[in-house]
């Protein structure tokens, strides 16, 4: 199974992001751009890759333990960006202006816990970069229509309210020609949410 852990914004925030995405779609009329479906908006905290199904319970147990030690935190969307850069872009993303440190701390804690399980999961060597994917671009020239929007997008994003991150979800990703299918497998509550149970 192809798995990753992610933080999903609450539905009202995903809807607000969807409205912002629609504005971008109107400005970037390019068939080479594949837009992320609203229900799939998320911040990947730790990508795991192909994992054998018998291993999943141990992953969930470790992630649950990590999450109960990490407090819930507030997050707010930041800038609109092109990854890996504006010269050779293939992904249009939203960053965070609030909650980046906390999400990075959660990512490091999960990585450390998974390394301790000795399950053959490669340690994450790249610096953590919180981002929510809005679109993937098959044709780098599609980014030419996006570039003018990058500088002024912050004004629009500033209107989307902050939100609380209260859990981290284990997700199965099935790659399809028309886009991935995501199936949540387990939700691990962060500290304050877990204390409410």
Burial per residue of 159-183, b for 16 or more beta-carbon CB atoms within 10 angstroms, e otherwise = ebeebbbbbbbbbbbeeeeeeeebe
How far, CA to CA in Å, does 76 sit from each of 34, 44, 102, 152, 190? Answer: 24, 15, 12, 17, 18
> Catalytic pick from 38, 90, 131, 192?
131
Whether 42 is catalytic is yes
* Count of H-run helices and E-run strands, the chain: 5, 9
Residue with tokens 């149970």: 197
Give the total residue count for the chain. Answer: 197
Compute the distance between CA of residue 90 and CA of residue 185 in angstroms, rounded to an integer: 28
> Catalytic pick from 38, 42, 90, 192?
42
Whether 90 is catalytic is no
- Check: CB of residue 121 under 8 Å from CB of residue 114: yes
Residues designated catalytic: 42, 131
């Amino acid at each position: 199974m192809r798995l990753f852990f992610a933080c999903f914004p609450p539905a009202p925030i995903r809807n607000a992001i969807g409205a912002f995405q629609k504005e971008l779609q109107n400005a970037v009329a390019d068939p080479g751009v594949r837009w992320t479906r609203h229900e799939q908006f998320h911040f990947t905290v730790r990508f795991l890759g192909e994992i054998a199904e018998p291993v999943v319970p141990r992953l969930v147990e470790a992630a649950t333990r990590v999450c109960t030690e990490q407090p819930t935190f507030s997050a707010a969307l930041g800038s609109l960006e092109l990854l890996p850069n504006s010269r050779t872009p293939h992904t249009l993303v939203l960053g965070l202006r609030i909650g980046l440190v906390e999400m990075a701390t959660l990512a490091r804690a999960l990585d450390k816990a998974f390394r301790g399980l000795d399950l053959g999961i490669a340690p994450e060597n790249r610096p953590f970069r919180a981002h929510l994917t809005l679109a993937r671009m098959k044709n780098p020239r599609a980014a030419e229509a996006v570039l003018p929007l990058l500088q002024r997008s912050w004004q629009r994003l500033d209107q989307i309210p902050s939100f609380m991150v209260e859990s981290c979800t284990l997700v199965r990703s099935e790659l399809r020609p028309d886009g991935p299918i995501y199936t949540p497998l387990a939700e691990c509550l962060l500290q304050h949410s877990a204390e409410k149970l």
